[in-house]
Chain A
Amino acid sequence: MSEIPLVPENHVPLPNVSSSNGLLAWVASVDHKQIGIMYLLTTLLFFLVGGIEALLMRIQLAQPRFSFLSPEAYNQIFSMHGTTMIFLVVMPMLIGFSTYIVPLHIGARDMAFPRLNAFSFWVLLFGGLLLYFSFLAPGGAPAVGWFAYAPLNERPFSSNLGVDYWALGLLCTGTGSIAAGINIIVTVLTLRAPGMTMRRLPVFTWMSFINAFLIIFAIPILNAALAALLIDRQLGGVFFKPSESGSALLWQHLFWGFGHPEVYIMVLPAFGAISEVISVFSRKPVFGYAFLVGSGFGIALLSFAVWAHHMFAVGLGDPLNLVFGGASMLIALPTGIKVFNWIGTAWGGSIRFSTAMLFALTFIIEFTIGGISGVAFAVFPIDWQLTDSYFVVAHMHYVLFGGTMFAVFAAIFYWFPKMSGRRLSERLGKWHFWLTVIGFNTTFFIQHILGIIGMPRRVYTYPDLPGWGWMNLVSSIGAGILGLGVLVFCWNVVYSFKRGQPAGDNPWDAWTLEWATTSPPPPHNFAQVPPVRGRRPLWDLHHPDNTDAQNPKVSED
């Protein structure tokens, strides 16, 4: 143990990128850390844009028959909100975390294909800009929803260029995601430091690895559908035109064939981050490592067998409904295992309530609400009533915001010190946390009830039926509170980047390899990688008398 020296303490707080290297160094960078940070900044920017779109929608819906937005504007904005949050925020944000963290987690110097890595990022940004350029095109942005159902997405019903920009933009971001997926897989398979066996990978890296497989299998389905759509729209094809012997349902099968794995693409790395955060702030190794990782595999496999649960209302017939309903219930099993293992991780620990941990523990509760309502939909008689109602809006925001975004906030608070060399303010973090929890639940919980009393989703306005007005107003007020929380968070990032408390190498006393190097790490990541003899190299380093390998309670399964 002691024959290998510790990584020397770095006393220079920040290698000053801006003055010594300038913007060009970022634009031309093939360094996974810079690219990872660019991913995160870009996706945060799009998060603000998508958030403003959400607020505009909530203003329009604050009272019945309100005319703050025209129907055309509302439909463009809700379509762009969904597309933005899914393709330009959640998915690339998680890829950004993977890009930054995975090489550090495995003790590598960079990703396997640094140039491909840069390509992935720039093509994402380009795709995003292309999508947003549609606002300037005649007729404006796409107004067909993020799912762009056929034949509404075809020329006869959407004659302006919005849908074409949408398809081209998503082809770009999708291509970037596939490249990133390949890169992550090869990196994990080939660049692990000596001793870092697959069974010692941190859970976050495991989830990023599994996620990469989901990406490279799911996104090509979308790309094929988008290409077919462009052929229909620009070259007179008939894939999705029922009036000319095409099939409207073919689009749904392709879109959800991609779309449901996509749901897990948007959550698996978040699961990984939660596992890291809960373990570190409970001062214990993760509970049931093999089950946490194995359930990730289970989710990934099953996610390709559940797509038609988005289509219970199209009339597929009960045999098919049963297959997809059953598979959708089954996917709750690995998800449930994860939830119990996170609780097991915190159980018996010594919990430190940093902002990261507050978000992580709250994630368990919010995500469980979204997960349970998801299982309810798999009992498809319930889906037959509630699909395409506001109940679904509530459900999917509990999964994607209460789930993934809470995990993302936890991950940002956890890894920001590593990336910037400074901690985020815990005081502002508490404000951010409470505003987010209150705002989020106020906005979305009541939408369950709106769906139950018959409010369809994707409507720009609604009649003044009993209860609809005040419930929507409550939801809109919640959205305002949530927006305040995001503002506090942005201020925290800006403020702490300049004046935050210096972090040192390992502010949380964590155990994975990224904390063994300086904050931020030097371009080559590690002067020397510590020995890896278990899942927690830094624990072993600091507890030579009680390493994980010596502890019978911490086996390697």
Chain B
Amino acid sequence: MESGSVFDPVSPMAHTISTVFIIVLIIASAVFLLVAGLVTFVIIRYRARPGQGDPKQWEGNLKIELTWTGLTLLVLLGLFGLTVFTMDDASPATASEQPDIVVVGHQWWWEVRYPAANVVTANEIHIPSGQRLLLQLESADVIHDFWVPQLSRKMDMIPGNSNKLWIAANTPGLYLGACAEFCGPQHAWMRLRVYADPPEQFSAWLADQAQLAPLPSDALAQRGQQLFQEQTCVSCHAVTPNPTENKVGPNLAHFASRATIATGVLTNTPANLALWINQPQDVKPGVRMPNMKLDVEQIQALVAYLETLQ
């Protein structure tokens, strides 16, 4: 399931590309075998033998030249035709439709918005399986690139120049992706997880995301919530699913429901979360999150609080 391979497509678009690629690979193999075969033949057949004088001196033959030029042209025309006939299926026109999801690339995380449901989340995208969804791809800083090989083609996220992209997953599952355009020091840890849920499960998830997580009941977590507000965490991270203002860090409204921390660096466990809050620059050097120089007790409280944000 977590193959992430171009050859393991689960959407009509990715499937088209996979098929095109296989066809081209077959043609390419034939061309390669022809060239390599000819070279091998030449090496064996025309190796200099002792006492042999100069071979017959001849240079070129128009007919031969025209033959291989023509044949090459035919192959290329075939490839061009293949491109023309498949490009729409591989990347259907997006015209003026409203996007289902807006994904904004940041150094180095993904902001994910569901405009209709008024939900903001980060780094994990949930989609209903069996449906085609239109993404709008934007960037908040430098150029990023949205790439989930099993679901669709890749598409750049360009500041000042938004793009649209269809994705789909025919079968429920987790599909891995990543930023595919070099975007600075932590380009490597801009991983992306797309969960395709059965439609009713997706609807439930979305409805849940639109709600505030229940307020913490135990004292430690309540202390953590207080710290979160006091220690300026809140100036970069929203903890409501539909904040009125844009914050510079990922939305944490349902942080505890996500599988990873720091856009893929760590699995989301309390111990890892404590490590991350304590030493963000060790876990992900260059990341925008500063070391808040909290003590152990404060970190435990914050972890307890964040773990309640289901």
Contacts and interface: CB of A to CB of B under 8 A. Distances in A.
Give the size category of B's interface with A: 35 or more
B156 interface: yes
A346 B188 contact: no
Interface stretch (A7-15, A38-46, A169-177, A324-332): A324-332
Main secondary structure of the interface of B (DSSP, over half): mixed
A86 to B, nearest CB: 16
B214 interface: no
A284 B57 contact: yes
B155 A313 contact: yes
A387 B69 CA distance: 29
Contact of A385 (B21, B32, B82): B21
Given A72-B185, A381-B16, A465-B2, A314 B28 contact: no
A339 B91 contact: no
B179 to A, nearest CB: 7
B39 A343 contact: yes
A329 B43 CA distance: 29
A71 to B, nearest CB: 5
B42 A343 contact: yes
B48 A352 contact: yes
Contact of B59 (A287, A315, A364, A452): A287
Nearest to A362: B39
Contact of A382 (B21, B88, B177, B185): B21
B59 A326 contact: no
Interface stretch (A288-296, A486-494, A499-507): A288-296
A313 B60 contact: no
Contacts of A551: 57-58
Interface in B48-93: 48-49, 52-61, 64-65, 68-69, 72-73, 76, 79-80, 82-84, 86-88, 90-91
Given A369-B32, A372-B31, A381 B83 contact: yes
Interface stretch (B96-104, B158-166, B233-241): B158-166
A337 B70 CA distance: 10
Contacts, number: 279
B35 interface: yes
B65 A364 contact: no
Contacts of A286: 59
A348 interface: yes
A348 B20 contact: no
Interface stretch (B118-126, B140-148, B293-301): B140-148
Contacts of B17: 381-382, 384-385
B176 A465 contact: yes
A245 B264 CA distance: 33
A554 B2 CA distance: 61
A369 B249 CA distance: 44
B149 interface: yes
Contact of B46 (A143, A285, A346): A346
A71 B84 CA distance: 41
A234 interface: no
Contacts of B46: 282, 346-351
B6 A386 contact: yes
Nearest to B18: A385
A241 B47 CA distance: 60
B180 to A, nearest CB: 4
B181 A72 contact: no
Interface in A208-265: 242-243, 247-249
A283 B54 CA distance: 6
B181 A336 contact: no
B139 to A, nearest CB: 9
A256 to B, nearest CB: 14
B199 interface: no
B80 A326 contact: yes
A380 interface: yes
A452 B150 CA distance: 11
A402 to B, nearest CB: 13
B290 interface: no
Given A152-B183, A348-B46, A456-B147, A70 B285 contact: yes
B69 A337 contact: yes
Interface residues of A, number: 94
A389 interface: yes
B216 interface: no
Interface in B279-299: 285-286
B250 to A, nearest CB: 19
Contacts of B47: 351, 353
A66 to B, nearest CB: 11
B283 to A, nearest CB: 11
A145 B182 contact: yes
B204 interface: no
B310 to A, nearest CB: 25
A553 interface: yes
B182 A458 contact: yes
Interface in A420-462: 452-454, 456-462
20 contacts: A71-B285, A157-B184, A248-B161, A282-B46, A283-B54, A287-B60, A288-B60, A313-B145, A313-B154, A325-B80, A339-B35, A373-B28, A384-B17, A385-B149, A388-B147, A463-B191, A465-B176, A546-B57, A554-B58, A557-B60
Given A145-B182, A288-B59, 14 more contacts: A152-B143, A152-B184, A247-B160, A285-B57, A286-B59, A289-B59, A313-B181, A329-B76, A343-B35, A351-B43, A372-B31, A376-B25, A551-B57, A551-B58
Interface of B: 2-7, 14, 16-17, 20-21, 24-25, 28, 31-32, 35-36, 38-39, 42-43, 46-49, 52-61, 64-65, 68-69, 72-73, 76, 79-80, 82-84, 86-88, 90-91, 107, 141-143, 145, 147, 149, 153-156, 158-161, 163-164, 176-189, 191, 264, 285-286
List of 9 A-B pairs having minimum Cβ-Cβ separation, nearest first: A242-B160, A384-B153, A454-B4, A459-B188, A553-B58, A381-B90, A288-B60, A315-B163, A458-B182
